Amino acid sequence: MVSRSRRLRPLAWLTLAALLALAIALALGSVGIAPDELVAVLLGGGDALHQTLVLELRLPRALAAFGTGALLALAGALMQILLRNPLADPYVLGLSGGASVAALVAMLAGWSLVLVSGAAFIGALASTLIVFGLAHGTGSWTPTRLLLTGVVMAAGWGALISFLLAVSPVEQLPGMLYWLMGDMAYAGSPWPVLSVAVISLLVVTPLGRTLNVLARGSLQAGALGVAVRPLEWTLYLLASLLTAVAVTTAGSVGFVGLMVPHMLRLRLGNDQRLILPASLLAGGTLLTLADTLARTLIAPQQLPVGVITALLGVPSFLYLLSRSR
């Protein structure tokens, strides 16, 4: 296990990286802002145009991107613990697809944002149960069987998404397409996603020792006194909730939940008391930087942030798959 001081050190560095990523997101864009002017704006002064750019446009979007990345990375870390598979991820296993289908149906029905979020949660949970049930079959699941089942389910959700797009009103298609590719431009208020990220971390952090035991196997965890089934259901529900909130905030953003927890485990070990908060910070930092790149790469035009994460995630996934046994 990692001592308390050794856990705090990487978390401190990741916190500094997160603050730096937020500063970069506030400074860069179609109109660049110098560091001294940025500090002046954050302190309540500075140019009026810069105040509008930073406080009303860039800061809410950067915070929403950070919260979305934090939720996806935390959901990926929980899925990897639950399924004891380093390739588990809300996007690869079809959770994001299920949440997206349910959210699109709710949008087409004209439901409110709260109901859209609830529909996305139900879709993510249903997708989780279907994937795990099919992968388990009549015997025990294996990492390969689980991965293939998730990929097939993700393809099935993709087909349903295509059908929904084909029958949707023409005037709604551009916004729906950008949302499906992962777009922070319509994220809205960042506080719901940030609140869910903080509350989720407060919920799972005290479970760190128990999750360390569960990661070694359900039989060993049960022998050591862990209530395996209630804990697994808690992880199911929490991972589905995190995915649903992320999807309703930014659309379908892939590979954050795969790359971040796995890379952190390669670097920091497998102590969940460290990996879970580190995943939240690193996931938020990654998506904040990815969204900044999406805004500035071909400015003044903007790319969907899901394009950037896919360009990073696909080679990372293939690399991890080649190393997996």
Give the closest residue to 211 by CA, choosing from 269, 273, 254. Answer: 273
Kindly report the pTM of this predicted structure: 0.88
Give the closest residue to 173 by CA, choosing from 182, 183, 162, 165. Answer: 165
pLDDT tops 60 at residue 325: no
By the 8 A CB rule, do 173 and 165 touch? yes
For 157, 172, 237, 312, 316, the CA distances from 78, given in Å and listed in that order, are: 22, 34, 10, 21, 19
The C-alpha atoms of residue 37 and residue 54 are separated, in whole angstroms, by 10
Torsion on CA atoms 307, 312, 318, 319, rounded to nearest 10: 180
Question: Sorting pLDDT into bands at 50, 70 and 90, what band is 291?
Answer: very high
pLDDT tops 60 at residue 128: yes
Task: Give the H/E segment covering residue 308.
Answer: helix 305-323
The C-alpha atoms of residue 298 and residue 303 are separated, in whole angstroms, by 8
The C-alpha atoms of residue 273 and residue 265 are separated, in whole angstroms, by 12
Q: How many residues are present in the chain?
A: 325
pLDDT tops 60 at residue 39: yes
pLDDT tops 80 at residue 46: no
